[in-house]
Chains A and B, each alone.
Chain A
Amino acid sequence: MSLVNFTTREITCKIVYYGPGRSGKTTNLHYIYGRVPQERRGRMVSLATQTDRTLFFDFLPLDLGQISGFTTRFQLYTVPGQVYYNSTRKLVLQGADGVVFVADSQARQLDENIESLQNLQENLLGQGVDVRALPTILQYNKQDLPRELILAPADLDDALNFRSVPSHPGDALHGVGVFETLRGISELVLRRLAAGTPA
């Protein structure tokens, strides 16, 4: 949950990028890391396999600066998407203030998206988190692929977004939608804090 220091007026929030394997979670963080000035970000930590698949998590701390008089920092995490790594996914999800679900827009990946979304809900419920209350955003990644291979955002909304949370089309490799997604989840998380109900 968000950590708030009233004495030094600091806020730290944890955002977790969730989704099926190879949907682009790490790519989102790599793009953010590459765009953000060095003095506003920490080292990106990646615990990956020899083939660069996420084994435990990627981690990127960001300094958002002053918001409403509070020094605000975000900790961005990714989970390993592969089904095999559910135990580590649960660990990374602990204490999340918000979740970005990165879906793979390819039509053949629809079942994997649904399975991962169900897995997210199971893991949150297992931690006693009310899924409906947790700030969540969907990103439909890989929208740059040929039309015949992917589903349109409206179709993905129909298939995945049954809670009607904010969703953004994306092409994380080239940065499309990455900023909008981060802004969207930041707003939801901070709005929750402003309402006095930290996650």
Chain B
Amino acid sequence: MSAPSRAIEPWMLQPLTGFVNEAAARLVLLMTPAGQVMAQYGFSKAVDVMSAAALGAAILASTTELAKLLGNPPFAALNHQGQRHGIVLGAFDTPRGRLVALVVYDTEVSSLGLVQLFFDQLTADLAAAAPRAEQKKPVLAADFERDLNQSLMSLFGR
């Protein structure tokens, strides 16, 4: 991926770009609670994005379960402060379903407070921009097997 911002569904792009500019975020990932990437800013390699999404979704899922064990509603957001970078992780609802955001910021350029301040704006912008659920439709040609076999053969060097 060469573009700094990228979204699976175009309606996410404007809120994402606005948030990145306002909060001076270094990396941002929007994903489903199952860890599927919906939009991203700042990552350069698609497969690295997927790893970050899997880990982010896992952290949030496990703390949500911890909250349940404690009899609490889910934690609104989590943050981790490192020497050079900080991470904010939070989930929120949109008309297109629940989303998880992972935000990474440089502590010299931004701050937890700044990210938190605009995080609420991001969730509101996404909720306002989200269209209603789209109808599912077939996506693959029925004879995809040949492509799949060729792809897997090349993947395994056969």
Q: Say yes or no: A63-B158 contact (C-beta < 8 A), given A12-B36, A95-B35, A183-B148.
A: no
Question: In the assembly, what is the distance between CA of A42 and CA of B55, in Å?
Answer: 13
Q: Are A43 and B151 in contact (CB under 8 A)?
A: no
Is B50 interfacial (CB-CB < 8 Å)? Answer: yes
Seen from chain B, the residues whose Cβ lies within 8 Å of a Cβ on chain A are: 8-10, 32-38, 45-48, 50-51, 54-55, 58, 61-62, 65, 136-145, 147-149, 151-152, 154-158
Chain A residues closer than 8 Å to B32, beta-carbon distance: 3, 95
Complex Cα gap A195–B155 (Å) = 25
**Residues in A whose Cβ lies below 8 Å from that of B61:** 91, 94
Q: Which residue of the partner chain A has the closest CB to B31? A: A3
Q: How large is the interface on A (under 10, 10 to 19, 20 to 34, 35 or more residues)?
A: 35 or more
Given contacts A73-B46, A179-B158, A190-B140, 13 further A-B contacts (CB under 8 A): A1-B36, A12-B50, A59-B51, A61-B46, A68-B141, A91-B62, A95-B33, A183-B149, A193-B138, A194-B138, A194-B140, A194-B144, A196-B137
A48-89 residues at the B interface, CB under 8 angstroms:
56-57, 59, 61-70, 72-73, 75, 77, 87-88
Residue in chain A with minimal CB distance to B66: A87
Complex: A16 Cα to B148 Cα, angstroms: 19
Query: A interface vs B, CB < 8 Å?
Result: 1, 3-8, 10-12, 14, 35-37, 40-43, 45, 47, 56-57, 59, 61-70, 72-73, 75, 77, 87-88, 91-92, 94-95, 179, 182-183, 186-187, 190-191, 193-198
